[in-house]
Chain A
Amino acid sequence: MCRPAAEKRYYQANAQNFRIRLRVSRRGLFKIIVGGFAATAVAATALLLGTKQGRAALESLVPAGLPAPSKDVTMSLNGSEVHVTVKANRTLLKVLREDLSLTGTKQGCTNGECGSCTVILDGLPVYSCQRLAVEMDGRQVTTIEGVSSGGSLSTLQQAFIDYGAFQCGYCTPGFVLSATALLRSNPNPSADDVNQGLSGNICRCGSYPHITNAVLAAAKRVDAD
């Protein structure tokens, strides 16, 4: 198989971008463990890619010059079955935003540090920039578009508005999803529980006190419902 030199160069130059950087941030470690950075072949590949030896090992398996392989993925996205063909190196964040036009998932640091891109994966909040889309086969993903069904806001979203729990709003979808997952697992959180649960999301505007209030209020409202 003969590949144009430019394409080979492209792959080689980009090899380091294909590496998934596994950096453990504040609650990243927790997420990686709890979220089960499941030992799928892909995740293992991602881990391997984090090291020089890993890249060499992978390159020995993949014929030189091949672009990233693609895979068909079927996932449950916001309650609907979705089929996508994705390249192995694309993150869930990119596929959601670029292939599926779901731009409610906001692109932040793309490094697993800020939480802007949080989605719910099988019930747990995860950074979509740290997940490969090929991992999503057979799994359930909820994005911000799936939180407000039929145009009506969730109790939590309404509480965010009522309590002024945002300023610029860029981090807000991520916070809403982290808090949604938190309230599902802990319907009656204390303020400390809320803050621990949201400690992996950054709000540079510093709307934190209002966010805590909004989540606590939403918990009470859900109780009352």
Chain B
Amino acid sequence: MSSPVVGTSVADVRGKERVTGTAQYTVDLSRPNMLFGAIVRSKYPNAKILRIDTSKAESLPGVKAVITGKDVPPISFPPFLSYDLRVLAGATDSYVRFVGDEVAAIAAETEEVAETAAKLVDIQYQPLPFNLDAETTMQPGAPDVASSLGFPRNVQSAYSPLVMTRGDIDAGFAEADVVFEGEYRVPPQAAASLRPFSCLAEWDGPNLTVYNDSQVIFVRQGELAYLLGIPTANVRVVSQYMGGGFGEDNLYRFIPLAAILAQKTSRPVKMVMPQDYAFEGSPNKRHAASFIARLGAKRDGTITAMDLQATYDKGAYLAGGSSVPYVGARAVFNGYRVPNMRYTTYAVFTDNPPAGAFRGYGGVQSNFAVQSAIDDLAEQLGMDPTEVHYLNCIRPDDVLEIEGEQVDFSQVGGSAFMEAIEKGKAATDWESRWSPSGAAAAAGHVRTGLGMALLTYGFGHKPDTANVSISVRPGGEVEVLMGTADLGGGQPTTISMIVAEELGARLEDVSVSLGDTNLPAAPALGSFGSRTTFITGNAAKLAAADAKQKLLAAAAGMLGTTSDQLGTSGSKVLVSGSSQSASFSQVVQSLPGGVSIEGSGEYVHTAQTSKSGFQFGACFAEVEVNEWTGKTVVKRLVMAQDYGRVINPRAAEGQMQGAAMQGLGYGILEDYSVDETTAQSTTRDWLYYRVPTITDVPEMVSIPIESPDPRGPFGAKGAGESMIICTHSAIRNAVANAIGVRFTSLPITPQMVIEALKANGGK
């Protein structure tokens, strides 16, 4: 038998296209005769549109179409991603609700003409009072944001409050020796992907094709069909390569706008959003959130009660990510065996741009509150925080109530927390280096601190289905068809490996077609929420097993034996106990008139499995804080993560490191700022919104933990998000350890450090 594929580091199957630049992202596409689109956006956070005059723009030579709210369907996007957004502000009323709200769209012969025309659209607004503060938006007298959208009092009623409980919270506090209370806040985070948001829409008779860097091609297909009032079958969405891919493509108006403009002009329309759209106008920044945390504990560190109140800022529309607050709650409940827990969430509307999906959706925020609070509680108890976590984290054989259901963790791959804590402590030499006042051996103005945080997160949230089909061709090639996008997480490679392993094919014989709604949907909802390996991987494994069975049946006749005497390896069918074999190619060619052998697999991700995918891990951070300059440098991150079973170790490590870098950015660098008087963003590019560069990279130690999930393909779990859930929290706790300042908001900038040290009169 040949050596196994699963568990070995395999190079990206589409790597050559990436390193040679031949990978074509949407912005690289062009069509003869195409027009260029541009969008006019509101400069006001809340205003009534009094009048729009498009005549100057329309008369500019080269302008082919100008549309406003009256030219688009008077309906909102369908539920799931975009909800209450209309294709343009003004489609059903005359209000703009955030800076960047789209008001008009243009198609012109060149990009320059389109942009010039956008400046010539004359809009008169009546500016209205606005509110950017989620904590006051529900108070009487606060400016009304969302009542006209069906959300009176500026709250999303389904999640306001959303209450999740376990046990009896009052009894839990009654038996506590110590009660800790703290308030925590996290800012928005921009995906800040480098590729410009773009799409290309073209019509062929009644059929629309849209190219777009998208993680959610099938949802987008349904969305466009609904908005344009045409059958889903008439819409094709293609996403061959995706730049970025951290959730930020979930809702965009420019896509239906390009389709409408293309229809109106009978020409292909390409839309490339300006770069500040990645910051200011784009929906789908991470929700800003604030928390009140109360913990009750025994003197020995046993937490008897955990009570959290959360407020998530949705921005001006429900838009993408309606369930962010819910996921935030789950990302706490899935972590601790505390008998009495309560999590109360409010999701509220403000005049900020709509928030939405960003890697770690909901959980990054609540993790900060809980991991900071437990660290702060440990200090109050005079304990090592790792001991408090170790005492209270979910254990491998725990049976716990989560959302009213008993979850037996031994049935879902256990819990890797204790192992992650043990290994993380060993790798940081925690026992000998950590002290309550930092890890520096000698006093000095550069203080060293150690901190840690646990992470728990779901994967494959929401029920879903995946269909994968496989063809074994007469030449022995194995073709895999799956309609998911390649968003850079190594999904095509992972799926190829699963197919090669199950089918007994050589990896080099396997090729994947993807990123097109003409292919079978896998997964139907799209590639987000750490779901592709688990959901599509299961379907691919079933499809490979189906193809294998047919191959063996065909080979049995050819080799004069029975299927049960046959196995596969290295793209050959082998006879048990014999040197006889036939290549896949020979087997397929032996079939009468056979073109190829087909296998198909469908995996149904049920409500049950979608609620019980658990990622576990821990991040240990070592930081140096310069008390003179205020600068925090992350020196080392030790990351222990449970993958269930690692399919492709190097790709998994890349996901872990990349997620940690985004977490590091959120912790100390990425400072999204808005001018409170104008509501305009002051961080509209990569110069002011500082994402990590290669010089910010700490030493990184990756510790993969394998506790296979019996339901995953070869035991694999979803793994694309986890380390982003807790890296910022670990860094915050390490800073607290270094300088004794327990920050309650992010990012921890040099200015914050200096001011806090001044206020404290030094350490």
Measured CB to CB, the residues of A under 8 A from B are 4, 6-7, 9-10, 13-14, 17, 23, 25-26, 97-98, 103-111, 113-114, 116, 143-145, 147-148, 153, 157, 160-164, 166-173, 176, 194-196, 198-212
Contacts and interface: CB of A to CB of B under 8 A. Distances in A.
14 contacts: A25-B686, A103-B21, A106-B21, A106-B27, A109-B194, A113-B687, A114-B686, A116-B194, A164-B9, A166-B12, A168-B244, A170-B194, A170-B244, A201-B693
- A169, A176, A210: residue with the most chain B Cβ atoms closer than 10 Å: A169
B21 A17 contact: no
A110 B115 CA distance: 15
B52 interface: no
B697 A166 contact: no
A46 B27 CA distance: 26
Interface of A is mostly: loop
B489 A169 contact: no
Contacts of A207: 654, 657-658
A105 B570 CA distance: 39
A200 to B, nearest CB: 8
A87 B659 CA distance: 42
B279 to A, nearest CB: 11
* 3 A-B pairs closest in CB distance: A104-B21, A206-B661, A168-B488
Contact of B193 (A14, A170, A195): A170
Nearest to B23: A169
A107 B270 CA distance: 15
A176 to B, nearest CB: 6
B19 A166 contact: yes
B60 interface: yes
A204 B694 contact: no
Given A6-B60, A114-B194, A164-B11, A25 B687 contact: yes
Given A109-B685, A168-B245, A204 B192 contact: yes
B196 to A, nearest CB: 6
A59 to B, nearest CB: 17
B21 A164 contact: no
Given A173-B21, A207-B658, A209-B700, 12 more contacts: A10-B113, A23-B687, A98-B30, A111-B687, A148-B20, A153-B19, A164-B490, A164-B650, A169-B17, A199-B695, A202-B691, A208-B661
B61 A204 contact: no
B275 A166 contact: no
Contacts of B28: 97, 103, 106
Contacts of B242: 168
A167 B654 contact: yes
B3 interface: no
A98 B111 CA distance: 11
A153 B20 contact: yes
A225 to B, nearest CB: 18
Contacts of B661: 206, 208
A172 B18 contact: yes
B327 interface: no
Contacts of A108: 194-196, 275
A211 B697 CA distance: 11
A176 B19 contact: yes
A172 B15 CA distance: 10
Interface in B78-132: 112-113, 115-116, 119-120
Q: Which of A25, A148, A168, A170 has the most CB of B within 10 A?
A: A168
B194 A171 contact: yes
B155 to A, nearest CB: 33
A205 B25 contact: no
Contacts of B697: 195, 208-209, 212
Given A13-B116, A204-B192, A210-B654, A168 B243 contact: yes
Contacts of B488: 166-169, 205
Contact of A109 (B18, B21, B30, B275): B275
B16 interface: yes
Interface in B8-41: 9, 11-12, 15-25, 27-28, 30
A165 to B, nearest CB: 8
B368 interface: no
A169 B19 CA distance: 7
Contacts of B119: 13
